[in-house]
Chain A
């Protein structure tokens, strides 16, 4: 395994016991946050009906909460937040641009298809 052209980046990831205590504290904090968000989501889902006037607001808050959870999982649990900026952007930027485009185009087209169904139904 002694090759000078390969750097073992993983060796740099090691940390001491004291640092470990701090890191574990952070992990449990994120856990509490994710759990709290899930509890709120389930409460809202179980008690607010879809035909209530407040539902559209609840629906969008679900999506926001989901994105917050996703961000914590990716940046904290997957440690993408600790990586070099270049890696962060290589992973996130193309994905986010493509998915936003796909959501936009599919929902636009779908709304159009729906209007066609509706005009045929009447």
Chain B
């Protein structure tokens, strides 16, 4: 495939000047050197992640517990969405090789077709990553709860649907008898964090942000399960509390108490476990996402060159090959990110 590199040339000629001892053009060689340096950056980041993970005493978030949602389907699909993302990226890598291959046959139509496929795959991946981030930031419906003995637990199960709030005592904004049906989850979580939900398991009473008091109409939670992530006086790491007992302890913890629940993750708090995980997650997947996005942009620029026939006139499609190298590199990094953030 790589022509010149497979020619038999004796080393005296090869290293004697006038030709590249590597049988590659300047541009391709520099792309390789850039990729080595970029790979060192990612290697350094992932090893820093390993360093932190090795010396952390608290429970590190587990991939299949943290990432178990699917768009439109809800919870309970461990790792499925990220597997789909990985598959999309691998496929877009394949379409890129096919574009390079078509370039070697001077098949302009083929290059265009496969590059468009690659770009679409890239956009899908970036979009999926945005969805994944949004999910990670907003968190689950239950959040992470601090129990009476000082331990902290993540919560699994089906959160009973919030149907409406009926105002029983007027505030600045709502009047008595108003039935609120919009933005319920957001208001509910906000009130829980501030300790303004009382008697929660069967709905209970909520104090809204305008000071009005309302009755919560909420379906019953099902299959609740608490998994201890930070040990306390009574519970150890990975202890599991189920069903009625779990529900009782969860609502006892939030009943009128502020800051007992954390929803989602950001740079200050992390529902899923150790704080450093969130920092590394945002930085490394963010840096990778930035690479994917710039890869898509570069691919679009090269695609325009292909469409205008620049490379056809030049007699070869090496530019496609060079962007291809970058694109495969992005896929390569993801293979490692996928393993160390989601699987291990």
Name the residue on B nearest A8 (C-beta): B316
Q: Which residues of chain A have C-beta atoms less than 8 A from B324's C-beta?
A: 78
Q: Does B148 contact A (CB under 8 A)?
A: no
Given the known interface contacts A83-B22, A87-B32, the answer about A11 and B104 at a Cβ–Cβ threshold of 8 Å is no
Least distance between B103 CB and chain A CB atoms (Å): 9
Least distance between A56 CB and chain B CB atoms (Å): 11
Given the known interface contacts A45-B78, A83-B24, A121-B57, the answer about A102 and B47 at a Cβ–Cβ threshold of 8 Å is yes
Interface pair B321/A10, CB less than 8 Å apart:
yes
Q: Does B93 contact A (CB under 8 A)?
A: yes
**How many residues in B have their beta carbons less than 8 Å from beta carbons of A?**
73
Interface pair A9/B25, CB less than 8 Å apart:
yes
Interface pair A7/B98, CB less than 8 Å apart:
no
Segment touching A, from B173-181, B294-302, B326-334: B326-334
Q: Does A103 contact B (CB under 8 A)?
A: yes
Name the residue on A nearest B84 (C-beta): A42
Contact bitstring A15-45, B, C-beta under 8 A = 1, else 0: 1110010011001101100110011011011
Task: Name A residues whose Cβ lies closer than 8 Å to a Cβ of B.
Answer: 5, 7-17, 20, 23-24, 27-28, 30-31, 34-35, 38-39, 41-42, 44-46, 50-51, 59, 62-63, 66, 69-70, 73-74, 77-79, 82-84, 86-87, 90-91, 94-95, 98-99, 102-103, 106-107, 109-111, 113-114, 117-118, 121
Interface pair A35/B87, CB less than 8 Å apart:
yes
Q: Which residues of chain B have C-beta atoms less than 8 A from A62's C-beta?
A: 339, 343-344
Least distance between B39 CB and chain A CB atoms (Å): 6
Q: Which residues of chain A have C-beta atoms less than 8 A from B79's C-beta?
A: 42, 45-46
Interface pair A63/B344, CB less than 8 Å apart:
yes
Least distance between A59 CB and chain B CB atoms (Å): 6
The 7 A-B residue pairs whose C-beta atoms are closest, nearest first, are A12-B3, A110-B54, A10-B316, A10-B318, A12-B4, A114-B55, A87-B22
